[in-house]
């Protein structure tokens, strides 16, 4: 199944594309969002398409002089761009992995197919899921399942995974799924028992939360005044990072609320006086029912938008 871009129109509209603007698609994936940005850019516009998965870039590369491909982690953006392109007009993050990656059994992301215990987004990374599960203690694994998967049965699952490993019974994603599922006595009709644990292992292995936090901070420096940052997240952990980042750098910072409600002039004055305020929160958008019906993957998506001030 092809990857269907989530909140496509909403996220690109939020970027308010200027014909000769410079944009970063920090998560190029299958190019869905980049294509729509391109359709709004003039000949002098530029888009830096970033993805740390080279197979994705090679498979979905669009040949267009206005796109510059960057195979790297989005947390390295400042280092990669190194003041070469000046400030940018907008940056988009569409977090997580694409259907192209999820549905490829060889990548080991899915409990639906059997494949190697890989789960690396960046295939140049040395450690894969199997190495990780072998390396960490049962206690650490239990913490990971709790923190990144919000998994209630984290202790039992960690014990079981380690038991399978010890008995040489953990050789592929099917074994991992089995080691997790056997902990659950009652089956949930709607949610696969291994979903949370697979998510947790993937997030920890790829340092997704740390990388996101770094990249958000970097994007503050990269944006022009009035430049837009739009982030689509897919689970509460990611969304919390994005929400807190936007709040921390904006008027939502509770320390500076003196009285509520503030007039527009008072708000502008506050921004003017507070050098540490760098963002103005613009919007929070959820997919509508039609999008969710057409693309179930979108059901947990949240788009948050802020403007650099």
Residues 6+ apart with CB under 8 A from 35: 62
Query: Which residue's CB is nearer to ligand SAM, number 104 or number 131?
Result: 104
Cα four-point dihedral sign 250, 254, 259, 261: positive
Does 56 help bind ligand SAM (rule: CB under 6 A)?
yes
The alpha carbons of the chain give a radius of gyration, in whole angstroms, of 21
Distance of CA 63 to the CA centre of its chain: 25
Contact 11, 33 (CB under 8 A): yes
Q: Among the residues of 75-171, which ranges form H helices?
A: 77-81, 99-102, 129-135, 138-149, 154-166
Token representation of residue 287? 């997919």
12, 17, 24, 27: which one binds ligand SAM (CB under 6 A): 27
Query: Which residue's CB is nearer to ligand SAM, number 30 or number 228?
Result: 30
Cα gap 95→101, rounded to integer Å: 13
Residues 105-164 that bind ligand SAM (CB under 6 A): 121
Cα gap 180→277, rounded to integer Å: 45
Give the binding range for ligand SAM (CB under 6 A) out of 22-30, 147-155, 185-193, 244-252.
22-30
Name residue, tokens 């530029």: 46
Does 52 help bind ligand SAM (rule: CB under 6 A)?
yes
10, 51, 89, 291: which one binds ligand SAM (CB under 6 A): 51
Does 211 help bind ligand SAM (rule: CB under 6 A)?
yes
Does 238 help bind ligand SAM (rule: CB under 6 A)?
no
Contact 203, 234 (CB under 8 A): no
Contact 301, 6 (CB under 8 A): yes
Does 29 help bind ligand SAM (rule: CB under 6 A)?
yes
Does 11 help bind ligand SAM (rule: CB under 6 A)?
no
Residues 6+ apart with CB under 8 A from 67: 34, 38, 46, 47, 48, 49
Query: Which residue's CB is nearer to ligand SAM, number 45 or number 96?
Result: 96
Give the binding range for ligand SAM (CB under 6 A) out of 69-77, 111-119, 133-141, 160-168.
69-77
Contact 114, 255 (CB under 8 A): no
Cα atoms in the 13 Å half-sphere on the side-chain side of 168? 0
Query: Which residue's CB is nearer to ligand SAM, number 177 or number 295?
Result: 295
Q: If DSSP codes are grouped into helix, strand and coil, which group holds residue 76?
A: helix
Does 73 help bind ligand SAM (rule: CB under 6 A)?
yes
Shortest distance in whole angstroms from residue 264 CB to ligand SAM: 34
21, 45, 90, 96: which one binds ligand SAM (CB under 6 A): 96
Number of residues counted as binding ligand SAM (CB under 6 A): 22
Give the binding range for ligand SAM (CB under 6 A) out of 91-99, 188-196, 235-243, 258-266.
91-99
7, 17, 24, 30: which one binds ligand SAM (CB under 6 A): 30
33, 120, 162, 202: which one binds ligand SAM (CB under 6 A): 33
Helix (H), strand (E) at residue 181: helix 173-181
Query: Which residue's CB is nearer to ligand SAM, number 85 or number 181?
Result: 85
Helices H / strands E in the chain, number of each = 14, 7
Does 50 help bind ligand SAM (rule: CB under 6 A)?
yes
Query: Which residue's CB is nearer to ligand SAM, number 76 or number 274?
Result: 76
Does 94 help bind ligand SAM (rule: CB under 6 A)?
yes
Interface residues with ligand SAM (CB under 6 A) are: 3, 5, 27, 29-33, 50-53, 56, 73-75, 94, 96-98, 121, 211
């Amino acid at each position: 199944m092809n990857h269907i871009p989530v909140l496509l129109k909403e996220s690109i509209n939020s970027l308010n594309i200027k014909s000769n603007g410079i944009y970063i698609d920090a998560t190029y994936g299958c190019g869905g969002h980049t294509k729509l940005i391109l359709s709004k850019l003039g000949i002098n516009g530029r888009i830096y398409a970033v993805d740390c998965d080279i197979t994705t870039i090679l498979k979905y590369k669009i040949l267009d002089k206005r796109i510059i491909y960057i195979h790297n982690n989005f947390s390295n953006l400042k280092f990669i761009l190194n003041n070469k392109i000046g400030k940018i007009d907008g940056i988009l993050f569409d977090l997580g992995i694409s259907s192209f990656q999820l549905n490829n059994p060889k990548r080991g992301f899915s409990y639906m197919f059997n494949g190697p215990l890989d789960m690396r987004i960046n295939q140049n990374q040395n450690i894969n899921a199997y190495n990780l599960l072998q390396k960490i203690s049962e206690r650490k694994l239990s913490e990971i399942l709790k923190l990144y998967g919000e998994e209630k049965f984290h202790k039992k699952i960690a014990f079981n995974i380690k038991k399978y490993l010890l008995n040489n019974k953990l050789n592929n994603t099917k074994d991992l799924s089995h080691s997790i599922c056997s902990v659950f006595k009652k089956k949930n009709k709607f949610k696969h028992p291994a979903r949370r644990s697979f998510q947790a292992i993937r997030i920890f292995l790829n340092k997704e939360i740390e990388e996101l936090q770094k990249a958000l901070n970097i994007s503050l420096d990269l944006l022009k005044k009035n430049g837009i940052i739009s982030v689509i997240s897919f689970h509460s952990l990611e969304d919390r990072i994005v929400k807190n980042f936007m709040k921390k750098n904006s008027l939502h910072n509770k320390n500076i609320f003196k009285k509520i409600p503030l007039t527009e002039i008072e708000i502008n004055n506050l921004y003017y006086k507070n050098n540490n305020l760098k963002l103005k929160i613009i919007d929070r958008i959820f997919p509508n029912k039609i999008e969710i019906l057409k693309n179930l993957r979108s059901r947990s998506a949240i788009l948050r938008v802020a403007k650099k001030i």
